[in-house]
A and B are shown apart, each in its own frame.
Chain A
Amino acid sequence: MAYDSHAASHGKSLPANLGAPAFVDGWRSRAIQIGLIFSVIAVVLALMGQSLDPEHLGWDHFLRAWMLGLMLTFGFAVGGQALLMVQYCSGGKYGLLLRRPLEAMSGTLLLVVLYWVVPVVFMKRLYLWARYSNAQAALQAGLITQEQAHCIAFKHAMLNPADYIWAGLVCFAIWAFYNWRLNGLSLKRDTEGPERTPYWIKKFENVSGPGIVVYAVTMTLVSIYWVMSMDVTWFSTVYGLLYLVEQGFQVLAFSIIVAIALSQAEPFKTILRQTEQHDLGKLAFAFVMLNIYLNFGQFLIIWSGNLPNEINWYLDRIRGHWGVIITLDFIFHWVIPFSMLLSRDIKRNKKRLTWVCRWMIFAVAFNQFWLIEPNFKDAARNLHFSWGILEYAAVPVAMVAFWVALFCTRLKGRPLVQVNDPHLREILEPEHAHA
């Protein structure tokens, strides 16, 4: 602060040890325990669903819930990498705070690839276009409707098993490339002196700028393949963007939880200031707004058009008691985070902000349930209890828990603060720099 000669003397200094605190190991072992317990529950539920439910869809529900877990972990891993790139381009002190947690999130990509192998193997149970490659025969056998048969034939160029696998592999390869680039350069940057900082700032901007565009395209592609194509008849041009915003939403929520939890010990105790916590809360609030904006926009356009090839997607998700779920989704996903994050006091309070962020992650999962389950004939316009449907509360928990365990390993892997950055000096200044 140029106008205050006293400020400089109040600056804090970084602790000598920048490694992740020891309690991160505790998080990891607890995550593994939760993962194992919920894996057992998931298998039991699948067996119960298979034998006790009238439809005998236990393992099908297991797979559908698996897709929910895949989208969540994919959102954390690839969305985390996207936020990292956005921050390299936009700057901002909050980013210095989150850089290493975000790198740790992006470093979990391999687990997401493993999770993705399951839908590849069991493609025929999830996607009509994979099950009935000969649409005409399936139509004549009365297995699918006229519309579905038409769409399967019409979209065959994109929606076929070989392209599904290829698109996934190419996208994973692209994300892995950026992962290797960003995480490798980041460590290299730390080893060099402050005179190289301008070079590194430019370098990261040059890597990240195109990376953000590539991310938007590849993420749109896989969200169409993985989730939207479960209903072969429907399409929406804003679908990729919906997932993009959802990823920003969940990644910010998770990063805030991690940053606040890490601030119980050094080095985050020193570098997490209330100012940046408040900024992160505001950014999360922006994503809450953007999310409802896009979701309602899509609904309003389709509702206004009222076209038979579009409106059924919503009718499948409103009629037959699904209206209860979407009403709750609106409350969970928008009303509660919006009203909570509106408050300055909640954004500045560590404990309360953590609770809001945990709630936000739950809301993302709840929204995915509403997106995924009604794609299937037994559930569309017919929300009903079955043992299988409880899988949505078991499989994703286990998958995210294992993901968190890997995240903790990655977090331990490198210093928690990037030292060669001009923001570091600013973040070490006391918050009331004038006094």
Chain B
Amino acid sequence: MPAREGIYGLLAEFETPGDLVRAARQSYQDGWRRMDCYSPFPLEEAAEAIGFHRDKVPLVCLLGGLLGGSAMFALETWISVIAFPLNIAGRPMYSWPAFIVPAYEWTILWAGLSAAFGMLALCGLPALYHPVFNAPNFRDGATTDKFFLCLEALDPKFNAAEARAYLEAFQPVSVVEVEY
């Protein structure tokens, strides 16, 4: 865990998503890695620009679905075959066609819940504190109409003066230093 003091990073504000994506793409090409984009709405291009190709949400969703489905199928089998066998219209105890529907429902349920909560967990949410909110312009506009690129101090390339000059070359609205 790095020391939580000093500069978190430099935050550049842009007017349009296009400007943000161009700046982010250029920074990634120039070797920046510890950085992030902030936008009021999902911006796939921004994620791609800073090298976010994959996340683990699909895997979590798949595992959740498989677990949910097999758990319900196993439960039904256990009830009908071992725990409480009933003769229903002379059918076999292990009547798998009847088990499919609840197992399917549980697949959907667990896949959905895993996707939603897995996404939150993988995003590190809920987060009670994030340094970028120290910037007043971020607090005002990050959820309405402003687009931000943050170069973080953890990046080995980071040097407060050089990074500021680098960001200003993209002609952002402003570049703000963000403290932890």
Contact = CB atoms under 8 A, between A and B. Distances in A.
A296 interface: yes
A326 to B, nearest CB: 13
Nearest to B20: A434
Contact of B16 (A4, A344, A432): A4
A435 B21 CA distance: 6
A237 interface: no
B18 interface: yes
A235 interface: no
B97 A300 contact: yes
Interface in A251-277: none
Nearest to A435: B21
A296 B98 contact: no
Contacts, number: 37
Contacts of B17: 3-4, 434
Interface in A304-322: 304, 306
Given A4-B17, A306-B89, A435 B100 contact: no
B45 A300 contact: no
A7 B16 CA distance: 12
B43 interface: yes
Nearest to B101: A300
B68 to A, nearest CB: 16
A299 interface: yes
Contacts of A435: 18, 21-22, 25, 45, 49
Interface in B37-85: 43, 45, 48-49, 58, 62
B90 to A, nearest CB: 9
B64 to A, nearest CB: 14
Contacts of A304: 97-98
Interface in B152-173: none
B43 A434 contact: yes
A6 interface: yes
Interface string A1-36: 001111100000000000000000000000000000
Interface residues on B, range: 10 to 19
A355 interface: no
A430 B100 CA distance: 44
A154 interface: no
A342 B58 CA distance: 10
A303 interface: yes
B21 A434 contact: yes
Contacts of B98: 300, 304
Interface in B91-145: 91, 97-98, 100-101
A4 B17 CA distance: 7
B103 to A, nearest CB: 12
A3 B16 contact: yes
Interface string A394-435: 000000000000000000000000000000000000001011
A434 B18 contact: yes
Nearest to A303: B97
A432 B91 CA distance: 57
Contact of B18 (A4, A296, A344): A4
Contacts of A296: 100
A4 B25 CA distance: 16
A299 B97 contact: yes
Contacts of A342: 62
A6 B89 contact: no
A300 B43 CA distance: 44
A98 B76 CA distance: 45
Nearest to B46: A434
Contacts of A300: 97-98, 100-101
Nearest to B88: A304
Contacts of A303: 97
Contacts of B100: 296, 300
A70 B58 CA distance: 40
Contacts of A306: 89, 91
Given A303-B97, A435-B45, 12 more contacts: A3-B16, A6-B18, A7-B18, A296-B100, A300-B98, A304-B97, A304-B98, A342-B62, A434-B18, A434-B43, A435-B25, A435-B49
Which 3 A-B pairs give the minimum distances between C-beta atoms?
A: A4-B18, A435-B21, A434-B45
Interface of B: 16-18, 21-22, 25, 43, 45, 48-49, 58, 62, 89, 91, 97-98, 100-101
19 contacts: A3-B18, A4-B16, A4-B17, A5-B18, A6-B18, A7-B18, A296-B100, A299-B97, A300-B98, A300-B101, A304-B98, A306-B91, A342-B62, A344-B58, A434-B17, A434-B21, A434-B43, A435-B18, A435-B21
Interface of A: 3-7, 296, 299-300, 303-304, 306, 342, 344, 432, 434-435
